[in-house]
Structure 1
Amino acid sequence: MSAYPIAIYGNGLFQDGYPTPPVPYATQAQQLNQGITTVILWSIHIHEGGDLYLNDTLFVSKGQIQYATNGSSGVNPDYPALVKQLMSGGSVRDLLVSVGAWGTTSDFTAWLAARDQVKKNLAVLQSTFGITGVDFDYEGDYTTDDQKMIVTLTLDVGSLGLYATYCPYTADAFWTGCLADVYAQNGKKQIVKWMNLQCYAGGAGNHPKLWAQLVAQTPDTGVTDPYAFIVPGYAVEGAQGGDPSYIQQMFAHLAGSGITGGFLWNSSGIFSTEPGGGPTPADYAKAISAGLGASTSAREPVDA
């Protein structure tokens, strides 16, 4: 039995390098379906008025997908076919969009200021591409007001029938506080399905088991399995990280802990090294499962 989730942050997926990526887009979709269970489109930036950008490319505006018509503006016109291929007949079963990144707190303040329009734009991604959730990559000041903002936006995600994931690298009390507030304000139903814990770059010193213990010690979050709730992530070759043997070693330290999945940072790193003989997404997916010893449990249900 393979670990779940085996997630990957799709850095500009099906758009990075447009129109001539290092690995053809159709091949990317095929390779991701050989072990990856969860693809997280990174990063969605939210501009004033609620428009959604995929990195620097306009993606959704006023409830309409913006496709490229001149090779430079809008997203790859093959996006629907590629996402359909991604979500059909392979290992991928979840497609999320991730909002934010380091130094982009304006994504969240713009979202808060245009909540209704952002909800419409997310609903379009839901109906067009079948997204199942929204990942919060918030890296800000972690104030009380920030916590209120994240909780409000998480509730908006839940109102669409989507789930949320949080992507922390620090400020554990902030994130567990968000969990408790979401649970309390959503009729004691948790919208957040798991935490993608960054264990690279600024989060390189994080201990996944410690984060699981902190979740367990926080009352009234609605999280019934704190260890499965923590999904650690490590960087790959091409993204200032390591090869599959390194990834397997990192997850081997967590075998038997109750942690059941992991994520990879990020797809463009893999696809940039692959043409030179580097490993594929499947190699990294196998490394996560092998490291955890494939000792997995079912995910807890999430009511949104």
Structure 2
Amino acid sequence: MSAYPIAIYGSGLFQDGYPTPPVPYTQQAAQLNDGITTVILWSIHIHSGGDLYLNDTLFVSGGEVKYATDGKTGANPDFPDLVKALMSGGSVKDLIVSVGAWSTTSDFTAWLAARDQVKANLGALVSAFGVTGVDFDYESEDGYTSQDQSMIVTLTLDVGSLGLYATYCPYTATDFWTGCLTDVYAQNNQAQIVKWMNLQCYAGGTGNSPTDWAQAVQAAGETGVSDAYAFIVPGFAVLGADGFGPEEMQQTFQTFAGTGVTGGFLWNSSGIWSTEASGDGQPTPADYAQAISAGLGATAKPRESVEA
């Protein structure tokens, strides 16, 4: 059986290159649905007042998705049909939106200052596209403070109040992120909203050990995490994103076989589309998904319920 989750950060998914992407959008949807279980729409930026942007494109404002009317600005008007195709009958089971990126902590302070409007805008994404969760890609350039932790916990609780789950995407600051887990669990009536951690093992997270992070979760106390090793989902960059191809991906995940790690993620879709467009259609997301599963030799596990 395949590993779970096999996630991918969809960099500007169905929007980058609009209206002429390197790989047609319908082809992107079909390819993702051949092995990927979880698509993470990256990156949502939150502006003052709570408007959501998909990278530099206004995406949601006033509780409504803003579609392009001139073929140039605004969200791709084919987004609903593409997401429907993505979520229909294939391997993809979850669509998550990711907030943040390197050097964008302002996304989170803007969110904190406009929580009600952000809730309405996230609710619009749930209604329009069936979004099931929110990924926290909080990457501080000047350390992680107790005030930062309080903010992340508050916003995680907001996500849970919408009936969604959260994932965290750390690359450093183990104590900070496990502290967020314990606080969310304590403040949410001993129910954990965070489903897993997408552990960055590339760029600034190069050399991260999933087992070290799992042990840190185990040592953190009351987190509500029943399987710390499955909770850690390591991720690596692909060809076209300063990473490597399926063969090396499989070799890398072989090092985690038998540790309790059951899934992995790919950084990112734009890298795959760029190399696919210039490399005779290879490698595809399915090639990378197969590499993760073959490397782990893992059995798929059902997601635990979220008691938000």
Q: Normalising to structure 2: TM-score of the pair?
A: 0.97
Q: Which runs of 5+ in 2 are unaligned?
A: none
CA shift at 1:132, angstroms? 0.2
CA shift at 1:298, angstroms? 3.5
1:188 aligns with 2:190: yes
Q: How far, CA to CA, are the matches of 2:159 and 2:299 in structure 1? A: 31
- Higher mean C-alpha deviation, range 183-192 or range 287-296: 287-296
Alignment of 1:166-205 (within 5 A): 166-205=168-207
The amino acid of 2:292's aligned partner reads I
Aligned residues: 304
1:281 aligns with 2:285: yes
Match in the other structure for 1:165: 167
Which secondary structure state, in structure 2, belongs to the residue aligned with residue 101 of structure 1? strand
CA deviation string 1:253-293 (max 9, x = no partner): 00011100000000000001102223000000000000001
Alignment of 1:225-236 (within 5 A): 225-236=227-238
Contact 2:19/2:72 (CA < 8 Å) preserved in 1? Answer: no
Contact 1:258/1:296 (CA < 8 Å) preserved in 2? Answer: no
Which secondary structure state, in structure 1, belongs to the residue aligned with residue 99 of structure 2? strand
Q: How far, CA to CA, are the matches of 1:218 and 1:300 in structure 2? A: 20
Q: How far, CA to CA, are the matches of 1:213 and 1:269 in structure 2? A: 32
The amino acid of 1:23's aligned partner reads V
- Partner of residue 216 from structure 2, selected from 214, 218, 223: 214
CA deviation string 1:166-195 (max 9, x = no partner): 000000000000000000000000000000
Contact 1:225/1:300 (CA < 8 Å) preserved in 2? Answer: no
Alignment of 1:14-93 (within 5 A): 14-93=14-93
1:301 aligns with 2:293: no
- Higher mean C-alpha deviation, range 293-302 or range 271-280: 293-302
Q: How far, CA to CA, are the matches of 2:296 and 2:235 in structure 1? A: 13
CA deviation string 1:201-257 (max 9, x = no partner): 000010011100110111010001000000000000000000001111111000011
Q: How far, CA to CA, are the matches of 1:291 and 1:299 in structure 2? A: 21
CA shift at 1:297, angstroms? 3.6
Which secondary structure state, in structure 2, belongs to the residue aligned with residue 120 of structure 1? helix
Contact 1:44/1:99 (CA < 8 Å) preserved in 2? Answer: yes
- Partner of residue 239 from structure 2, selected from 213, 237, 243: 237
Identical pairs, percent: 76
Match in the other structure for 2:149: 147
Contact 1:256/1:295 (CA < 8 Å) preserved in 2? Answer: no
Match in the other structure for 1:255: 257
Distance 1:202 1:294, change over 3 A: same
Q: How far, CA to CA, are the matches of 1:6 and 1:295 in structure 2? A: 12
The amino acid of 1:245's aligned partner reads E
Q: Normalising to structure 1: TM-score of the pair?
A: 0.99
1:94 aligns with 2:94: yes
Q: Which runs of 5+ in 1 are unaligned?
A: none
Contact 1:228/1:299 (CA < 8 Å) preserved in 2? Answer: no
Q: How far, CA to CA, are the matches of 1:139 and 1:273 in structure 2? A: 27
Which secondary structure state, in structure 1, belongs to the residue aligned with residue 204 of structure 2? helix
CA shift at 1:296, angstroms? 4.1
CA shift at 1:142, angstroms? 1.0
Q: How far, CA to CA, are the matches of 2:206 and 2:31 in structure 1? A: 28
- Backbone CA RMSD of aligned residues: 0.8
